Structure 1
């Protein structure tokens, strides 16, 4: 479904990603592990059309994404849920969710159907639908952020650090929902520092270090890799 081949990205004079080769098959849940500053968000921004690569190829379902606007990328089925949630804090939960339906904003029936789906996934949001997004807890805000991305009807969902700043029990709940979304047919590329939680629901994974992919393998391979355990999981 997604193919990155020899992808290199600069931020000004600095090379942020170098010769990235990564694939995601339809139906997979693939984890991209890496510390802060490794280049995970830059990779996602490049796939989303927010950043232009200097070199390499980037294909989704056999078609190049290079040169596509972010709106065209979303319309084609690739949707990013950004790190930090990026909600409109003064708007209600429901209005934030509806922002994700921008590409079909005139189809009220389709919006209502997708809202029902999101509220079924995140029942905690039902009673909060008319509350301002800024008044919610961190976990609830993350639910809104993921729900808004799902409102765009993604074929491929890019999730950037969804567990950041959340309590362990909320992280467990969040990852359970992500796994359910994947089981229902949405392919997921998940960028995370919480390696154990992410790998527990994944198909396989990659490790990004200083802009380069250093390791790839099944979740079992990565969980058993001593260097990865020391760096991301602990003894």
Structure 2
């Protein structure tokens, strides 16, 4: 479904990504683990068309998308839920969600079906749909952010640090929902620092350090790796 081939990215003279090779197959849930500043968000922004690779190729569904606009990439089937949620806090939950389905705005019935789907995933959002998004709790705002990305009906969902700042019980519920989204047929690339929770639901994973992918494998392999446990999971 998605393939990065020798992708490098620079911010000015600073090289943020070094020859990244990464792939996600249809229906997979893949986790990208790494510390703050390791390059996770840069990979996401490159896939989404917000950054252009200085070298290499980004391919989606067999097409090279490295030069495409973000709008065209969303239309092709990739949606991103950014780190920090990036909601419109003064607008209602419902309006935030409808904006997520903007590429389908001419199909009112499709928007209605998408809303029904995300309200089924996150019932609390239906009850709060007329409230300003900024008035919700942190966990509920993260639900809005994920639901907004799903409104584009993506084949591949990019989730950038969805658990940051959330209480442990909320994180547990969030990861169960992400697992359900994947089971329902949406591919997921999940960037996370909470390695233990992420590896419980992912099929495979990659570890990035200082812009280099240093390790990849199945979730079981990564969980059992002593260096990974020491650096990302703990005893």
Aligned to 1:64: 64
Aligned to 1:26: 26
Q: CA deviation at 1:230?
A: 1.1
- Check if 1:12 corresponds to 2:12: yes
Aligned to 1:135: 135
Where does structure 1 lack aligned partners over 5 or more consecutive residues? none
Which stretch of the first structure deviates more once superposed, 158-167 or 106-115?
106-115
Aligned to 1:166: 166
Tell me the secondary structure at the aligned position of residue 131 of structure 2.
coil
Aligned to 1:88: 88
What is the correspondence of 1:167-182 to structure 2 with a 5 Å cutoff? 167-182=167-182
Aligned to 1:125: 125
The 2-side partners of 1:85 and 1:46 are apart by: 18
TM, length-normalised to structure 1? 0.99
Q: CA deviation at 1:178?
A: 0.5
Q: CA deviation at 1:106?
A: 2.0
What is the correspondence of 1:144-155 to structure 2 with a 5 Å cutoff? 144-155=144-155
Over residues 18-45 of structure 1, what are the superposed CA-to-partner deviations in whole Å (9 max), with x where a residue is unaligned? Answer: 0000010000000000000000000000
Aligned to 2:103: 103
Tell me the secondary structure at the aligned position of residue 126 of structure 1.
helix
TM, length-normalised to structure 2? 0.99
What is the correspondence of 1:213-228 to structure 2 with a 5 Å cutoff? 213-228=213-228
- Check if 1:74 corresponds to 2:43: no
Tell me the secondary structure at the aligned position of residue 127 of structure 2.
coil
Equivalences, count: 235
Aligned to 2:188: 188
The 2-side partners of 1:5 and 1:67 are apart by: 14
Q: Which runs of 4+ in 1 moved over 4 A?
A: none
